[in-house]
Amino acid sequence: MRETVLMIGFGAIGLEVAKRLSGDSDARLIQIMVRPGREEGVRGQVNGTIQVISSLEDVDPLPDFVLECASHQAVAEYGPYFLEKGIDFGVVSIGAFSDPDVYDRLAKSSRSGGAQLCILPGAVGGMDALSAARTEGLDDVTYISRKPPLSWTGTHAERSFDLESITQAVVIYEGTAREAAKLFPKNANVAATIALAGLGFDNTNVTLIADPNATGNIHQIEAKGAFGEMSVRIVGKPLPDNPKTSALTALSAIRAVKNRARHVRM
């Protein structure tokens, strides 16, 4: 039996997920929830069998799984509702959990409804290793993000830098994962993911760099502890429709959906 999926949001990630799940033998996208006023535009971009809705009242039937691809606000607003109904809830906008109240609320709803809160790895790898290392003891976790200057357009960086005139690598932020997730909500979901897998938001070091020589979105993770040392570097290509988002983020969401319906998971 195919897994039924409701997806919240239809930006660049949501569009890619919808394309990849079209006709999939493991999972079936049955509904997409968007902001009021966007319904008709989205209907014109997806298979006619997929319902496009804008209200929880229109959710029918209840899905097996809900995939959030929208925003921090959507995580806080819709996560508790579905979790309390016993429906597993997958989160792409991990930066929402930089607010401890949001994390606590969803964790409580998960326990109450007997459902699973699924934190997707998104644009980075090695989260399984980092989480495993934490059980033995982590001393230090550092995340460095390096992207072309214009990839930081529309972020907090514009307050201090003229992004169009940057000619050499410039550090635009250094601090904790918690602050990074708040200041760069569209760019720092990776920092939040690493924080949750490792030492937490206040003990994860983050450096964000605008680099005109960067050939893609570069993510580097360095960790040390009783387990040994770990170094992960990923050079990800951005989604064509959104240079701020790694294509691997969409692929991670698709993998999570398909894995739920498979007997063998990787």
Per-residue model confidence (pLDDT) at position 199: 97
Close Cβ partners of 181 (under 8 Å, ≥ 6 residues apart):
94, 95, 97, 98, 188, 189, 191, 192, 195, 201
H/E run at residue 126:
none
Q: Residue 156 catalytic?
A: no
Q: How far apart are CA 135 and CA 226, in angstroms?
A: 10
Residue carrying structure tokens 């690598």: 169
> Token pair of 232, please?
């992960």
H/E run at residue 5:
strand 3-8
**Cis peptide, bond prior to residue 61, ω within 30 of zero:** yes
CATH class for the domain made up of 3-119? alpha beta
How far is Cα of residue 206 from the mean position of the Cα atoms in its chain? Answer: 17
pLDDT by residue, tens only, the chain of 266 residues: 689 999 999 999 999 999 999 888 889 999 999 999 999 999 999 989 999 999 999 999 999 999 999 999 999 999 999 999 999 999 999 999 999 999 999 999 999 999 999 999 998 999 999 999 999 889 999 999 999 999 899 899 999 999 999 999 999 999 999 999 888 887 778 999 999 999 999 999 999 999 999 988 899 999 999 999 999 999 988 787 776 678 999 999 999 999 887 767 76
Residue 33's φ and ψ, nearest 5 degrees, are -105, 125
Per-residue model confidence (pLDDT) at position 244: 67
Q: What is the DSSP letter of 123?
A: T
Q: Locate the domains of the chain by residue range.
A: 3-119, 127-244
Residue 78's φ and ψ, nearest 5 degrees, are -105, -25
> Token pair of 186, please?
């569209």
Instruction: Say which of 72, 156, 219, 263 is annotated catalytic.
Output: 219
CB burial class (10 A; 0-12, 13-18, 19+) of residue 192?
buried
Q: Residue 100: helix, strand or coil by DSSP?
A: helix
Per-residue model confidence (pLDDT) at position 185: 80
Contact 78, 109 (CB under 8 A): no
Question: For the segment 217-240, what is each residue's pLDDT rounded down to a tens digit?
Answer: 899 999 999 999 999 999 988 787
Q: Residue 25: helix, strand or coil by DSSP?
A: coil
CA angle in degrees (0–180, nearest 5) for 224-170-162: 145
How far is Cα of residue 223 from the mean position of the Cα atoms in its chain? Answer: 21
Helices (H), the chain: 12-21, 39-43, 72-84, 100-113, 127-136, 177-183, 189-197, 247-260
Superfamily of chain region 127-244: Dihydrodipicolinate Reductase; domain 2 (3.30.360.10)
> Token pair of 156, please?
């907090």
Counted residue by residue, the chain has a size of 266
Please state, in angstroms and as integers, the Cα–Cα distance from residue 63 to each residue in 49, 58, 102, 104, 114, following that order: 15, 12, 23, 24, 15
The amino acid sitting at 172 is I
**Cis peptide, bond prior to residue 185, ω within 30 of zero:** no
